[in-house]
Structure 1
């Protein structure tokens, strides 16, 4: 049910999304790109890719980057496809984070930005990421962090007023979910963007 609500909400927002959240999108995705240190030979999966802005950033540096983006909003994906139409090695498709339509060991890098708080079954999503990640690959997730007071307040408000919102996590809760999915946290930090937005990011690798 929650994915249906999220899909409907983002189908409605798609046309204005990039403009409405321009500063936030630019700041967070530019940070993630720098953090990720992606190689031009990496094959990437972007989970909850939205309008394809992260793909656009990567392709501006490495025009031959192999990327697959998935999202549950058809209208967001339509914008992503338009942005990246000049790059035949980049593809987008509708898919749920908890049911990825890919073979085991398919990707070198999996990223997900600003979406983890929408996942109705975050552990299932992480297990799916683990399944499609190559043995020496890495997962990088950037999302809101409940350790920050204003994010904690936003989380409480959104739970009451936004039916698409599931929950924000503290950094410790987030790391426990990664460990429960059989990842090892390789690198992690918290970062603030402006007054309101406190986020966390983690790079995880498969446990031996």
Structure 2
């Protein structure tokens, strides 16, 4: 499975990840934080949380925020736990998006940033996100967008050279995946970061 390859890849990258991708992570996660104004009372699930940088950003302003991060890389999670060690209201779990270890209707907000292009089974991933989301909750996904020419080129190259990679989607295709999974799209846009990175963000409800 590609997930196994992704786990191995990110275990190897963990020690240098924040430094190597500092500009990308800072720009995209700051944008995501501004895009979805998370209420301090929300219980938040961050899927593929990596080194916990989104948690750190939220907790800087809302230190009592209830947050849960999941990732398949133990070494990325170790860094996340170290970053957030002073926040007992935050927890991290090694878990796949295809088998989230939570009961249904647990979270007010489910977030996934720059990770959907790695998910083995996008339909099953969305079904799991919907299962753990409360009836009045929101799903927020930020990911690469194939509508941009350079993202199309990256998509082709990564399918050849990155064994963990699955694919990125056009905005129309991704919206179709969401509506087919039973989500209602509340708002969406596309955004570019620098010359290479073209992304899309979507907020959806059950």
The reply to whether TM is greater than 0.5 is yes
The 5 A counterparts of 1:183-198 are 183-198=183-198
The 5 A counterparts of 1:1-80 are 1-80=1-80
SS in 2 for 1:129: helix
Deviations 1:97-117 (A, max 9, x none): 011110010000000000000
CA shift, 1:180, in A, is 1.1
Q: Which runs of 5+ in 2 are unaligned?
A: none
CA distance, structure 2, for counterparts of residue 14 and residue 36 of structure 1: 27
- Return structure 1 stretches of 4+ with deviation > 4 angstroms: none
The 5 A counterparts of 1:167-206 are 167-206=167-206
Deviations 1:127-181 (A, max 9, x none): 1010000000000000000000000000000001110110010000100110111
CA distance, structure 1, for counterparts of residue 43 and residue 23 of structure 2: 28
CA distance, structure 2, for counterparts of residue 73 and residue 122 of structure 1: 19
The equivalent residue for 1:148 is 148
Number of paired residues? 206
CA distance, structure 2, for counterparts of residue 176 and residue 96 of structure 1: 23
The equivalent residue for 1:84 is 84
The equivalent residue for 1:102 is 102
TM-score by length of 1: 0.99
Q: Which runs of 5+ in 1 are unaligned?
A: none
The equivalent residue for 1:162 is 162
CA distance, structure 2, for counterparts of residue 128 and residue 4 of structure 1: 19
CA distance, structure 2, for counterparts of residue 63 and residue 161 of structure 1: 40
CA distance, structure 2, for counterparts of residue 138 and residue 89 of structure 1: 20
Deviations 1:71-118 (A, max 9, x none): 000000000000000000100000000111100100000000000000
TM-score by length of 2: 0.99
CA distance, structure 2, for counterparts of residue 32 and residue 134 of structure 1: 20
CA RMSD of aligned residues (A): 0.4
